[in-house]
Every structure is written in structure tokens, then in C-alpha cells.
Amino acid sequence: MSSIVAIVGRPNVGKSTLFNRLVQRREAIVDAVSGVTRDRNYGKGNWNGKDFSLIDTGGYAVGSDDIFEEEIRKQVMLAIDEADFIMFVVDVEEGITPMDSTVADMLRKVKKPVFLVVNKVDNSMRMTDATEFYSLGLGEFYPISSMNGSGTGEILDAITELIPIEEEKEEIALPRFAVVGRPNAGKSSFINALIGEDRYIVTDIAGTTRDSIDTYYNQFGFEFNLVDTAGIRKKGKVKEDLEFYSVMRAVRAIENSDVILLLVDATRGFESQDQNIFWLAEKNKKGIVILINKWDLMPKETNTLRDIEAQVREEIASFPDVPILFISALTKQRVLKAIETAVEVYNNIQRKIPTKHLNDVMLPIISNNPPPATKGKYVKIKFCTQLPTQTPQFAFFANLPQYVKEPYRRFVENQLRKNFDFTGVPMAVHFRKK
């Protein structure tokens, strides 16, 4: 599992700019409260061959007139609690502010590595100005410019040096399914429907991640480990923003699982938080099953199911081959079907297509539907193979792979999904020089 790095600091010091540079793309978790949208960004980074998850928190503020000040503070505290490493960003242009001192006082009590990042240091004069931040009592500081990228390599070197090298692990015999979703989607009810009766065989095993629990399940012909993200902490510790909390838990659970069971509240629809959890799973190349829960509470009009599924399909249009089941954890309607589908998706992840069979199927399709010519040049694809990766990836060898555009790549992926069963599994298609 990759480590989690949280970026914290007061507003307007350049946290989001730094986040965007480190992950090389922007991924926003959107939470609408009283008509105001706030972005909370999650991404994946890699440096020196080591992966990490990066979280950009809202600006930490005390004593302002911002009505969301308290919620932002809760988010920052949660990120600090969940993260393995903390990047505390300050602004050399403004120097040390009372708010910086408040955050520093808080971080000195944290028993985790804290990296003091002085932003906007883009000339020698500002390098001299940055020395005042020694007085915050957090030790060495890292001068950077998140705008042009200078100094970011040094801070990443320091962080990744502390990230342990992942040892080669033996293949896990049992699949691991994570139940994730926004608060009150029915995760606890779903888990209780599976393991809540005495006749179920269950054993609690401390997981590799802080606070997570694996539950061994063996019933009705199914055997797997269930990664429980519901009710993990003691109630007294759950004081933070529940939406933010749910995504933080999802980050951990997704990285620690093979297949994600995303529970969606049918009475609320497939909202932005559900969508962001979905794309977190897709970015992590995990199998996905979407469960529309609380179906027993919905009106029984003929088109209700069709309308909800159409809305979900529209939101995940770039990854349409995902199972969607309508369940009721309360009445146990289709609960076992959900597990059966998760097992099928897990088997799809493991599927390996023999090279000869792959070529026999795909080359005639490509021959009849070749890539369009570019600048009068024709792309010829002569061979394809499945790569030896944990999740399905395919390489197609061509004379001019640089001329293969994204629409054709999607066409090839759709043909792979049509002719081989990869339902619920993210897939990568590469075009390489012959």
C-alpha cells in the first residue's frame, strides 16, 4: 500500500498549486454545503519508484468570518490523523503569520514526520527571507516554488526516503472486497446482512492499515476477505466532517482491496461524492461493482430503475462496463447476488487471454476496422499480447503507434470487452512500435 501525504496550511499559500504539480493532474472531491462548493483534492503520485497518495486540504483558519472555517479545520485535523506524512506549506511573501504559528503549535504535537515547505521562493532574496521560518520550531525547511516547480524534487526526495520499499508479496489466495460509500448509504446494514447472523463463519483479523479490519467470510459457497470501512472508529473519535471522513476511509480501503463494492443511496441518487469514490477506485485499477441500496424505499414505477441506471451510466460514460445492481440491505434483496457479482469481477481481473487466441480474435477486427490514416500514412497493427500485469493491460504493436488516436484506442478496448469478459475491470490498451 502507498503512504498518504497530507498538504496543510492556512488559505492562499499555494497548497493546491503544489498538489497539482506533484500529481500532474487535478482531482476534486466536491461537497456542496449551503449552496457553496468546496474542492478537496485527492491524487496519486510517484517519485523515485515509490507511490503515494496525496491529499490537498482546505486552508486552516481560526477567527475568520468564513462560515466554513470550522468544517475546514475538521478536515485538516482528519487529514493529519489519517496521513503518514504531513507537508506544512507557508508563504515566504507574507512571512510568519499568527495563523502559521497556530498550525505549527498543533503540528509540533503530532507524532508523525512533518515537512515545513516554504513556498514562493523563486529568487535568492526570498531564500534569505525564508530563514525566519526556523522560528516555528519544526526543524529544517524546504524552499520551493510550486508555480515553477523549483525545490519540489528535494521535498519529494525527503518524503520518499522515509517510505519503505514494498516487498514482493505472495499472491493473496482470497479476494478482498471493500464496502465503500458516502455516510448513510447503508454500508453497515449491507455488512450486517452478510455477517450479522450467528450461522455465518467470521473471524476478525487486524488489517495492514491503521484501524481497518478484514472479516473472513465463508458461506453459501463464497469465500473472501471483507474490508470493512463502516463503524471502524470509536464513536467518540468521529467528530470530523463525515463526508470527508468517508472519502479518507475509501482511499485506504480502495488501496487495500481487489474489488470495490460502492454503495449508493437510491433515495439520493449518484451524487458527486459517489462519483469521486468511483473514480478513485478506477484510478487505482480496482474492480468495481455499483450497488444501488435502499431499493425497498423507492416508488415502484416502471421507469424508476431504468432512469436511475441511465443516470449512473451517463456519469461513468468513459467506463461503461460496470455492473449495477439494485439491492436492499435491510430486506437482503439481491445481497448474495452482489457478492456473486463481486466474485465474477475478481475472476475477470485474473483473466489471462492466450496470445494466439487474442490475435485470432482481435486482428481480423482491426483489419476490417483499421485506424484512420493520418497525413497520408496508414497504421498497420500486426500483433497483440496481454501484458504480465496485475490488472488487464494489452499491447498492440504497430508501424506508426504515434498516429493512433484516443477514439481508436477506445474502439479497441470496447472490442476487447465485447469479445472477452472484463466486466467491472479497468483496462489499459497500449500501442507500441513494432
Q: Please state the rounded mean pLDDT for residues 86-92.
A: 92
Determine the 3-state secondary structure of 192 from DSSP: helix
Q: Given this model, what pLDDT does residue 196 score?
A: 63
DSSP codes joined into one string, 352-412 = ---HHHHHHHHHHHHHHSPPPPBTTB---EEEEEE-SSSS-EEEEEES-GGG--HHHHHHH
Name which of 156, 116, 110, 153 is nearest 134 in CA terms: 116
Placement of cell 450497488 in the chain: 291
d(CA 4, CA 84): 5
Residues in contact with 121: Cβ distance below 8 Å, sequence separation at least 6, in sequence order: 92, 127, 129, 130, 143, 144, 145, 150, 151
What is the gyration radius of the CA atoms in the chain, in angstroms? 24
Q: Given this model, what pLDDT does residue 65 score?
A: 55
Q: Given this model, what pLDDT does residue 189 score?
A: 81
Examine the pLDDT at 400 and tell me if it is beyond 50. Answer: yes
Span 203-218, pLDDT tens digits: 344 333 334 446 777 8
d(CA 256, CA 258): 7
pLDDT tier for residue 25 given thresholds of 50, 70 and 90: low
The per-type count for the chain, helices as H runs and strands as E runs, is: 12, 17
Q: Per the structure block, which three cell numbers stand in for 85?
A: 506524512
Top pLDDT among 72 and 86 is at 86
> How far is C-alpha 363 from the chain's CA centre?
34
- pTM given for the model: 0.61
Top pLDDT among 79 and 281 is at 281
- For residue 223, the tally of other CB atoms under 10 A from its CB is 14
Examine the pLDDT at 233 and tell me if it is beyond 60. Answer: no
Q: Given this model, what pLDDT does residue 42 score?
A: 67
Sheet holding 176-180, edge to edge: 204-206, 213-219, 222-228, 176-180, 259-265, 287-293, 324-326
Examine the pLDDT at 235 and tell me if it is beyond 60. Answer: no
Q: Please state the rounded mean pLDDT for residues 159-188.
A: 76
Share of the chain above pLDDT 70, in %: 78
